[in-house]
């Protein structure tokens, strides 16, 4: 906590996270500046309200002209926090109020990446409908599809593939791996089959000169090669 922060600020951030709107409104009426003051992590009340999933409080803070996209000391915005925590109502509110759907943290993580990684399908849908970049990559080059494929989040892989006009299914991360590499390495059978069915390349090599098939189990290799043969013959 910085020396400029009054002692009650810590309590206020805790109240915001727990959704204690009534108590917080009393504090705000006593000190209007509290609405945009930051804690030791650079977070405002709206960050904590969003993370806690308290849509009513988020709406109230926004009605007080609190900015929709403040960043904390890692460039986390309320939208990124809400998406990461699966807070769908808050995500929708922030998007309606103009939150930057493609904001990223200092490590390059976006709301869509977090939602894809944590299997929050409805949140991914909301973000994509607001033109979230389906190919957005973090500092290690990982896209939402990399995340979903490696975690085995089949519903998210299906969703991202539906946005195929923009999706780069073979995008490589910093290690040269495509989403198919990661699905094969983690033995995510259904995800690997789905990616292959939608045209993922079996021959791309990563920085270790390995193809997805080099990382797959023998059984999965047979299934993926069969899918390729079937698609080629159509």
Structure confidence by residue, pLDDT tens digits, 100-115: 999 999 999 999 999 9
> Is-contact 25 60, C-beta < 8 A?
yes
> 103 near 111, Cβ under 8 Å?
yes
Give the span between the Cα atoms of 140 and 146, in whole angstroms.
11
**pLDDT reading at 8 higher than 70:** no
Domain 137-233 -> CATH class: mainly alpha
Q: Where are the domains of the chain?
A: 8-133, 137-233
Q: Are the beta carbons of 142 and 173 closer than 8 angstroms?
A: yes
| pTM confidence score | 0.92
Q: Residue 211: which region, alpha, beta or left (left: phi > 0; alpha: psi -120 to 50)?
A: beta
| Nearest Cα to Cα of residue 220 among 98, 178, 194 | 194
Which architecture, in CATH terms, is 8-133?
Alpha Horseshoe (1.25)
Q: Which residue has the higher pLDDT, 4 or 92?
A: 92
What the block records as the tokens of 134 is: 């389906």
Q: How would residue 4 be classed by pLDDT, with cut points 50, 70 and 90? A: very low
Average pLDDT in the chain: 94
**Tokens matching residue 187:** 């033995």
pLDDT digits 0-9 by tens, 117-134? 999 999 999 999 999 999
Tell me if domain 8-133 and domain 137-233 are identical in fold.
Answer: yes
pLDDT value, residue 6: 44
């Amino acid at each position: 906590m910085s020396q400029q922060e009054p002692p009650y600020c810590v309590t206020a951030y805790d109240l915001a996270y727990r959704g204690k709107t009534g108590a917080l409104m009393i504090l705000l009426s006593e000190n209007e500046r509290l609405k945009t003051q930051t804690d030791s992590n650079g977070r405002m009340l709206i960050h904590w309200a969003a993370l806690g999933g308290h849509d009513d409080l988020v709406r109230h803070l926004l009605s007080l002209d609190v900015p929709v996209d403040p960043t904390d000391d890692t460039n986390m915005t309320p939208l990124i926090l809400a998406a990461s925590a699966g807070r769908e109502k808050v995500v929708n509110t922030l998007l309606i109020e103009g939150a930057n759907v493609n904001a990223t943290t200092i490590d390059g993580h976006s709301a869509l990446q977090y939602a894809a990684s944590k299997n929050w399908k409805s949140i991914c849908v909301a973000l994509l409908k607001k033109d979230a970049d389906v190919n957005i990559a973090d500092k290690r080059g990982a896209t939402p599809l990399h995340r979903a494929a490696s975690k085995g989040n089949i519903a998210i892989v299906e969703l991202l593939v539906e946005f195929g006009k923009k999706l780069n299914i073979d995008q490589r991360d910093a290690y040269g791996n495509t989403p198919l590499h990661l699905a094969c390495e983690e033995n995510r059978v259904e995800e690997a089959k789905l990616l292959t069915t939608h045209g993922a390349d079996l021959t791309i090599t990563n920085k270790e000169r390995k193809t997805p098939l080099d990382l797959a189990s023998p059984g999965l290799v047979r299934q993926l090669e069969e899918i390729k043969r079937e698609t080629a013959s159509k």
